[in-house]
Structure 1
Amino acid sequence: MGKPPRALPSGLATALVFGSSGAVLVLEIVALRLVGPYVGVTLQVSSSVIGIALAAIAYGTWLGGRLADRYDPRALLVPALLLGAIGAAVTLPLVRFGGELLRGGAAPAVLLLAALAVFLPAFLLSAITPLVVKLQLSDLDRTGSVVGRLSSMGTLGAITATLATGFIFVAAVPSSWIVISLAVLLALSGAVLAWWLRRNGGAAELPGRPRTRAVLASIGLVGAGLGVASPNPCDIETAYHCARVQADPSTPGGRELILNSARHSYVDLDDPRHLEFAYIQWIGAVADVLPAGPVDALHLGGGGFTMPDYVRATRPGSDQLVLELDGDLVKLDRERLGLTTGPDLRVRVGDARVGVASEKTDSYDFVVGDAFGHLTVPWHLATREMAADIARVTRPGGIYVQNVIDYPPDRFIRAELATVAAAFPHVAVISSQEALDGQVGANFVIMASKSPLPTDEVARRVADVKDPGVLLTGQALTDFIDDARVLTDDYAPVDQLLAG
């Protein structure tokens, strides 16, 4: 039996486990942002990335343990770091080019894109911990303390990386630079470790090592270069969105706001009364039936600020407050979409639910719910408790409108209608006839009030806009809702209902 390899110094072993575990979590969090522009940011996408990352950790740890029992772990640590660096470097081109092919795909495409984003580097880096553990087990009487210490340091590394990435890195630099910087850091760590092992009589020589190093370095450099040169779908990356503004070639002032691959807003820089999308035309029709003169309006979600600008143009003197979660998106609106704020149009950056809770009772004539996470209303904004708070701030004669997207069999819109009806006594919904018949996916605009709704006038107006809609109320609406369950803070599976 050969002499067992010498253990690493405790500090070095801890740093390797801490750093490699942290690197995996950095990649997992950034992967959510890399895939978002192509398949959206939904619960299914998040679950896919997390599941793929956990699978990579499981298989990588298993393989690292097997290799540690068959080979000198010291000879494998440097290759694991360098291969992890290469895996991180090639992530960007894999996702950016693969994302264009898999854009908007169903579950298999989401899983494949998630695998391209995180599996390879997470798999390689997860092999480091069992290699280090094997080296440190020189005394069987201390096995528990060694394994416990290194396991806890790996967990602390993952926690540190999660918090640092979520609170600092994502807000400070683009995702592509996080990935490239991590790849460079891993490569440098591998080089430093190789130097230290040579100085301290460490690693066994690997056959063909100089040529192997040259090939791996070339692959890493090419991967990093392709990552930098690959098509970036974002004009800016905010803390919540990959945001892009594109011009409408048919309208000189037309601008379209794209958030995480979804067409979110349309703004005409020359005409704030121009409402391009069907759902915003229907919301505009509801705004037009409010009593003449200025109104007090509350908007949950700003997006491109199309409706606030429309109300400002059609009802001068109105007092409007927009609750928008993404401060960087507001900056983009100011720079690229002509947003001007002032005493008549104020923006409060923060969560819409928290913002509504701070508003006074009976303070608004018009409340617009148009907050989305990709194609889904955030679940905590879709519950009975949220609807009750919106009803509280809406004046007795005021109107609440909410934009919802759904697809056949329309489980989410039915549930959301039942939910809003639990807070408002008068409810209606506007959409296309095909969508109401369950033939196509589309936008639905819920209309609700504590007083009888002007349904006849709204029905006439939505039938006359460029993209006509149909208003459903009364018994027809009751039949449409059927036995849909009211959503609550305790039960709101919004993503699953939308997915059908």
Structure 2
Amino acid sequence: MSSSSPDIATESPRPAPPPVRALPNGLAAFLVFLSSGAVLVLETVSLRLVGPYVGVTLQVTSSVIGIALAAIAYGAWTGGWLADRRDPRTLIAPVLVLAGIATAVTLPVVRYAGEVLRGGAASAVLLLTALAVFVPAALLAAVTPLVVKLQLADLRRTGQVVGRLSGIGTLGGITATLLTGFVLVAALPSSAIVLAVAALLVVTGVALGAYLPRRGRPGPARTRAALAVLGMAGTGLAILAPNPCDVETAYHCARVEADPDRPSGRRLLLNSAQHSYVDLADPTHLEYAYTQWIGAAADVAAPAGRRLDAVHLGGGGFTMPRYLTATRPGTDNLVFEIDGGLVELDRRELGVRTGPELRAVVGDARVLLGEEATDSRDLVVGDAFGHLVVPWHLATREMAAEINRVLRPGGTYVQNVIDYPPGRFVRSELATVAAAFRHVALVAPPAAIAGERGANFLVVASDAPLPLEALGQRVVALPEPAALLSGDALAAFVGDALVLTDDYAPVDQLLATA
């Protein structure tokens, strides 16, 4: 009986997939440079997109950076995963087109959502920044691993290829950051920057799709049509989306509104927050309570009508320089305003006329104050804000000492501060100013001092005894009566509050509500 071996079906080996051809080195470098740079342009501009709705604070800046980094991480991860499963040559062009469409759609999404989330809590800040950054940044971050996969034809050069493209991507991000911060933001509105980036990405994606040969049939016509419709819809929505700005300066989304109850009244809004009120016909009219307090402090600082040498840290609508010029003819008002675009807006819309009695110097108030002579000023008015926050470097003990140096003996420093319950920042600022001045007082609404609501607070300081009786009589007689704290009452209010220094000034954290 013979036996035979069973038939063993032998499979013919599968043909190896054709090698994926690398892109030309120049094209690969351009794609990585462009996609990485576009992410950083969007990250920088997104601060300006969300600012009118949630402010420009440390938390907002941190949210934008964190969301952008998360998008880069997830996008790179997903791009690498896709690169191992699909031919990257068929993916890069569609990803660029989708990134362009997502970038264009960012404008209407942020502007419509911003109206709903305006002034919200931390969750609203995170949500709005995610809407501004995440999708386009994630799509752009997927480009680099797709390009890297195509360029890894020779495993002996893996390190060189990855290192070179990684370096080019970093250079793209650096170039975009510097170009946006120093040139684009100063020259173009945010909407124009976003739409230009979107158009560049779409054009690059379309051109790349036409350049790269594809194996097999071309993509369905329905897909290309859908992308075209999405692109047109995104661009149309971006153009029609509500714009909260009349003017975009290098630092602010600015708008001037007429007061319907006062024909000559104008309100200046910066990032949608009311910052100044000006009466074009009556420079002595002070609309807001805190400006009335500043006016009262200036009125009692020296005999009525006597000219003063005053420095204003922050210009806003130039309300106080106009008031001092009207009430004390001959007063020398020197205004330090960091935003040159705001100064130009004030000239056009608010009737500001610079000259011998009103000089506006564009630059950082602390740097410019350091150039002022010792004992050269009678009054320093601190009214500088980044949204609703005093810039931290203007709120430290070292800054207060510099102000004291510039003031003549008997000169007065008044500082406008905004705070909310439990009032940690205003207490710290009072302790900080008291570390540099012998005499300090506080003007504020009684309810705000009691911790019942947020408000403006006015810190008044001098090395000479303050005219407390005269100041107290003035502030209690105002339409919105205020309390004046000094001496033991002020010390009890301040307690053991932190003195802010250049080394440690957590202003944003102190302002956060409990």
The answer, yes or no, to whether TM exceeds 0.5 is yes
Is the 1:85–1:183 contact (alpha carbons within 8 Å) kept by the matching residues of 2? yes
Paired residue for 1:138? 153
Tell me how far apart the structure 2 counterparts of residues 412 and 492 of structure 1 sit (CA, whole Å).
10
Q: Deviations over 1:124-166 (max 9, x none)?
A: 1110000001111111111111100000000000000000001
Q: Deviations over 1:162-199 (max 9, x none)?
A: 0000111111110001011111111110111112113x
Paired residue for 1:180? 195
Paired residue for 1:257? 268
The one-letter code of the counterpart of 2:74 is Y
Tell me how far apart the structure 2 counterparts of residues 474 and 334 of structure 1 sit (CA, whole Å).
42
User: Secondary structure of the equivalent of 1:90?
Assistant: helix
User: Secondary structure of the equivalent of 2:354?
Assistant: coil
Paired residue for 1:248? 259
Report deviation, 1:485: 1.1
- With the length of structure 1 as denominator, give the TM-score of the two structures: 0.98
User: Secondary structure of the equivalent of 2:474?
Assistant: helix
Report deviation, 1:221: 1.0
Is the 1:197–1:203 contact (alpha carbons within 8 Å) kept by the matching residues of 2? no
Tell me how far apart the structure 2 counterparts of residues 120 and 353 of structure 1 sit (CA, whole Å).
39
Tell me how far apart the structure 2 counterparts of residues 205 and 17 of structure 1 sit (CA, whole Å).
27
Q: Does 1:71 align with 2:82?
A: no
Structure 2 unaligned blocks of 5 or more = 1-15
Paired residue for 1:269? 280
User: Secondary structure of the equivalent of 1:317?
Assistant: coil
Q: How does 1:14-413 map to 2 (within 5 A)?
A: 14-198=29-213, 202=214, 205=217, 207-208=219-220, 210-292=221-303, 293-413=306-426
The one-letter code of the counterpart of 2:257 is Q
Moved over 6 A (4+): none
Report deviation, 1:101: 0.9
Tell me how far apart the structure 2 counterparts of residues 372 and 207 of structure 1 sit (CA, whole Å).
54
Note the aligned Cα RMSD (angstroms).
0.9
The one-letter code of the counterpart of 2:425 is F
Is the 1:281–1:467 contact (alpha carbons within 8 Å) kept by the matching residues of 2? no
Tell me how far apart the structure 1 counterparts of residues 52 and 473 of structure 2 sit (CA, whole Å).
38
- With the length of structure 2 as denominator, give the TM-score of the two structures: 0.95
Tell me how far apart the structure 2 counterparts of residues 129 and 303 of structure 1 sit (CA, whole Å).
44
User: Secondary structure of the equivalent of 2:262?
Assistant: coil
The one-letter code of the counterpart of 2:428 is A
Report deviation, 1:7: 0.7
Report deviation, 1:4: 2.8
Tell me how far apart the structure 2 counterparts of residues 275 and 465 of structure 1 sit (CA, whole Å).
11
State the number of aligned residues.
Answer: 496
Tell me how far apart the structure 1 counterparts of residues 235 and 454 of structure 2 sit (CA, whole Å).
40
Report deviation, 1:430: 0.6
| Equivalent position to 1:467, from 480, 487, 511 | 480
Tell me how far apart the structure 2 counterparts of residues 453 and 362 of structure 1 sit (CA, whole Å).
18
Structure 1 unaligned blocks of 5 or more = none
User: Secondary structure of the equivalent of 1:423?
Assistant: coil
Paired residue for 1:494? 507
| Equivalent position to 1:5, from 20, 38, 42 | 20
Q: Does 1:478 align with 2:512?
A: no
Bigger radius of gyration: 2
Change (3 A) 1:363 1:9: same
Tell me how far apart the structure 2 counterparts of residues 481 and 235 of structure 1 sit (CA, whole Å).
41
Tell me how far apart the structure 1 counterparts of residues 159 and 475 of structure 2 sit (CA, whole Å).
71
Tell me how far apart the structure 2 counterparts of residues 358 and 118 of structure 1 sit (CA, whole Å).
40
Q: How does 1:442-453 map to 2 (within 5 A)?
A: 442-453=455-466
The one-letter code of the counterpart of 1:236 is V
Paired residue for 2:7? none
Tell me how far apart the structure 1 counterparts of residues 151 and 432 of structure 2 sit (CA, whole Å).
58
Q: Deviations over 1:458-493 (max 9, x none)?
A: 111011112221111001111111111110110011
Report deviation, 1:223: 1.0
Change (3 A) 1:204 1:8: farther
Seq. identity, % = 67
User: Secondary structure of the equivalent of 2:499?
Assistant: coil
Report deviation, 1:320: 1.1
Tell me how far apart the structure 2 counterparts of residues 459 and 222 of structure 1 sit (CA, whole Å).
60
Report deviation, 1:207: 4.5
User: Secondary structure of the equivalent of 2:484?
Assistant: strand
Comparing 460-469 and 489-498, the one that deviates more: 460-469
